[in-house]
Structure 1
Amino acid sequence: MSDRESIIADARRWLDGYRRAWASNDADDIRAIFTDGAEYRYEPWVEPLRGQDAIVASWLDRQDEPGSWSFEGRVVGVDGRLAFIQGETTYTSGRRYSNLWMVTLADDGRADSFTEWWMDRSKAS
């Protein structure tokens, strides 16, 4: 397996872990996908959350209820250890988002940084 294929495989495993954490809202599942010093940005231009404790606290404060959403996502590319993930999130409330996630993966497959770009498609015709 080439380095590129290996990184794509790491990104797919990370995405599976993210889905698991999103569905469970379990602190251990969230910690499992981020390094100790990871940075997490809900939007590209905001100050990041720094560290697992801050990420877990914010995630649990903003958590989505199980069964209130569906997500389809895929790794669309990598540049070194930076993975690009495209997704569509649909909430039972009718909200719908297109997402682009930029995830820098550590050698162990956890995220060192996560930046979310999202577009609200709820009102699109």
Structure 2
Amino acid sequence: MKTVEAARRWRDTWLRAWPAQDVDALRSLYGEHAVFRSHPFREPRLGPDGAAGYASWAFASEEAPAECRFAEPIVDGDRATCEYWAVVRSGGSEQTIAGVSVIHVDDEGLVAFQRDYWAVEVGRRDPSDDWGR
């Protein structure tokens, strides 16, 4: 599978699975030896179960379906980056999460490595007009 196809599949799956909290759909994106880093300073989660475990942990604090959007992935070789923007309800209030995922895919189109960079702001924030470009 070409990287651009794998990156779009990753984006489309996260776009559907995050609001639905569909951990199994997310698990299917990651290769057996995948390394998943939800933040540069956290310990990595390993393999499909590690990525799914992170998602389960993160979803546990969400009190309503996330409102999320993902930009078109930018692809170079076996790497892709994708911006995301989400509003979640947690702890009784809305929070906006803006981030970027960097993924490396293997020959089968599965994520071999994912690293996320993100920021959280209390309240609902709309993205800027140039978001996702």
TM over 0.5: yes
Amino acid at match of 1:108: E
Shift of 1:122: 2.8
Shift of 1:66: 7.5
CA RMSD of aligned residues (A): 2.4
Counting aligned pairs with the same residue, the percent is: 22
Provide the C-alpha distance between the structure 1 equivalents of 2:74 and 2:22, rounded to a whole number of angstroms: 28
Match of 2:40 in 1: 44
Residues 1:78 and 2:75 are matched in the alignment: yes
Amino acid at match of 1:35: G
List per-residue Cα deviations over 1:34-78 (Å, max 9, x = no partner).
111111111013221112222223322331547431111113412
Shift of 1:27: 4.1
SS of 1:75's equivalent in the other structure is coil
Provide the C-alpha distance between the structure 1 equivalents of 2:52 and 2:39, rounded to a whole number of angstroms: 17
1:7 touches 1:78 (CA, 8 Å); kept in 2? yes
Match of 1:24 in 2: 20
Match of 1:87 in 2: 84
Q: Tell me how many residue pairs correspond in the alignment.
A: 120
Provide the C-alpha distance between the structure 2 equivalents of 1:80 and 1:101, rounded to a whole number of angstroms: 16
TM-score (norm 1): 0.79
TM-score (norm 2): 0.75
Amino acid at match of 2:48: Q
User: Structure 2 unaligned runs (5+)?
Assistant: 126-133
Provide the C-alpha distance between the structure 2 equivalents of 1:60 and 1:121, rounded to a whole number of angstroms: 21
Match of 1:110 in 2: 110
